[in-house]
Amino acid sequence: MAGARPSAPASESELLARAQGLAGRTLGRIAAEAGLEAPADQKRMKGWVGEIIEWCLGADAAALPEPDFRAIGVELKTLPVNSLGRPAESTYVCVVPLTGELGEWKRSNVYRKLARVLWVPVEADRGLPLRHRRIGNAFLWSPDVDEEQALRTDWEELTEMIARDGLDRVSARHGRCLQIRPKAAHARVLTRHASPDGASIQTNPRGFYLRAKFTGEILAALHAGGVRP
DNA sequence: AGCTGATCATAT
DNA sequence: ATATGATCAGCT
């Protein structure tokens, strides 16, 4: 790498200022500053956008089950947006725990991951090469009361459904803002899961995802001048 | 066009 | 295999 990785930000305002400093720049440009080149094969480097932004901002918890910015407890999420500025994809949150207790909402990984998020919109039209994609205006977010209620309701319903009917009865069609979808290298990857009757079975790992409709509403509230906590 | 199920890269 | 980072691809 040509450039040195920035140190971790010491505060939310420092992180936000850094992230907003990326607005309008292309991924090719910030990659060059890190001594990298944007991959030509964007179909294979699915996580590259998130990783380069993490690098630029000094995230220090990569590949750990913790917030990206450990000291200040902030999670970084890039938000792929189309030419209209609307989210083009769902947002992965975390894996669905398949063993152990159900727990309660406020102790769930979903709640903890989403408690404080730095959203970084990035252009993501499929025909646009990675190096030409521009970064948008980053913003800090926590769920407001309505959003948290909606997330909590989905989480509790999905969790109860798994316990009552089994994971294999839960599809991506369930959940208004939070959904469950496969999360693995491929469909043959299996992990252990306790079925409702107590038997241990093998199943494809799943993840919690935010629907694009939900993240789109977060963006819309911003543009409407909504005040956020 | 939107959505669901499947998939790709990397680190531990 | 499990977790991180996500987007792809095909069907409705």
Q: Is the CB of A90 under 7 A from strand B?
A: yes
Chain segment A4-34, per-residue pLDDT in tens: 778 999 999 999 999 999 999 999 999 999 9
Is strand B less than 7 A from the beta carbon of A212? yes
Whether the CB of A116 is less than 7 Å away from nucleic strand B comes out as: no
Helix (H, G, I), strand (E, B) or coil at A50: helix
Strand C positions within 7 A of protein Cβ atoms = 1-9
Residue nearest to nucleotide C6 (CA to C1'): A47
Residue A166 lies in a domain: yes
| Residue A116: partners with Cβ closer than 8 Å, 6 or more residues away | A12, A67, A73, A74, A75, A140, A141, A142
Binned at pLDDT 50, 70 and 90, residue A225 comes out as low
Within-domain flag for A207:
yes
pLDDT surpasses 70 at A229: no
**Count of CB atoms situated within 10 Å of the CB of A89:** 15
Nearest-angstrom CA–CA distance, A143 and A228: 9
| Residue pLDDT, tens place only, A109-158 | 999 999 999 999 999 999 999 999 999 999 999 999 999 999 999 999 99
Residue A167 near residue A203, CB atoms below 8 Å: yes
Q: Which residue is nearest to nucleotide B12 (CA to C1')?
A: A63
Q: How far, in Å, is the CA of A50 from the C1' of nucleotide B11? A: 15
In a domain, A228, yes or no: no
The pTM of the full predicted model, rounded to 2 decimals, is 0.95
Domain extent at residue A78? 12-223
> Which among A38, A30, A76, A79 has a CA at the least distance from the CA of A56?
A30
Res A1: pLDDT: 43
Q: What is the CATH number of the domain that holds A191?
A: 3.40.600.10
- Tell me the one-letter amino acid at A71: A
**Structural domain includes residue A178:** yes
For the segment 146-205 of chain A, residues whose CB is within 7 A of strand B: 171-173, 179, 181-188, 204
The token pair that represents A165 in the structure block: 């009917």
Give the total number of structural domains in chain A. Answer: 1
Mean residue pLDDT across chain A: 93
Q: Is residue A4 part of a domain?
A: no
- A57 pLDDT band (50/70/90 cuts)? very high
pLDDT at residue A62 in the model: 67
* Inside any domain, residue A229: no
Residue A31 lies in a domain: yes
Tell me what pLDDT residue A226 has: 54
Determine, yes or no, domain membership for A136.
Answer: yes
